[in-house]
Amino acid sequence: MTEYTFESIKKYSERKHRRIYRYLKKQLPDCTVKYNGLEGHDIYIYTRWGKIIWIEIKTCDKIVCNGIDHEKMRESNRPEIFNIHRLGRLKFDRREIYPYTVSQHDDLIEKDGWYLFFVGNKLGKYQILFGIKAADVKLNPKKGLQQREWGKLAAQASPDWFEHLKKEIY
């Protein structure tokens, strides 16, 4: 069994963030796209007109996929739900978790920023990358770590999110 350290997980996450940064840089050649690292908001896009668009990247390795175990259902006549993958809930940190006056999520809403969500390791034909305005990701106002299911976030996002982002830029 492979043992992961905080440093190895952070390096792994940073590689995925940099792939998305390079993708955006390639897709938006007439803008300045800067990678801000893993601290704070991950990427910002500076347009020729002086507008700055902040982007936070959320990643996971696999999608949570619920299903019915038909074999057990035949045995007991009761549907039993299982999760194929456990990695798929996206975490949103609130101000009470870290010693900041404003949470990263609230700050991104205030800056009219975006979340980009990415599954897997490589940007490619079969990977999922979708975006949603931070203001559209509604979190419970109670204190503590918030988690949102991948499928619900994907359903909220527009399929042509990149076109919406480009309209804000141009």
pLDDT digits (tens, 9 = 90+) for 101-119: 667 788 888 999 998 888 7
CA–CA gap between residue 115 and residue 146 (Å, rounded) = 15
| CATH 3.40.1350.10 for domain 6-169 | yes
Residue 69 is encoded by which pair of tokens? 């175990």
CA distance 167 to 48: 14
State the Cα–Cα distance between residues 14 and 20, nearest whole angstrom: 10
Domain locations in the chain? 6-169
pLDDT tens, 69-103? Answer: 666 667 776 666 655 444 445 666 655 655 556 67
- Tell me the pTM: 0.74
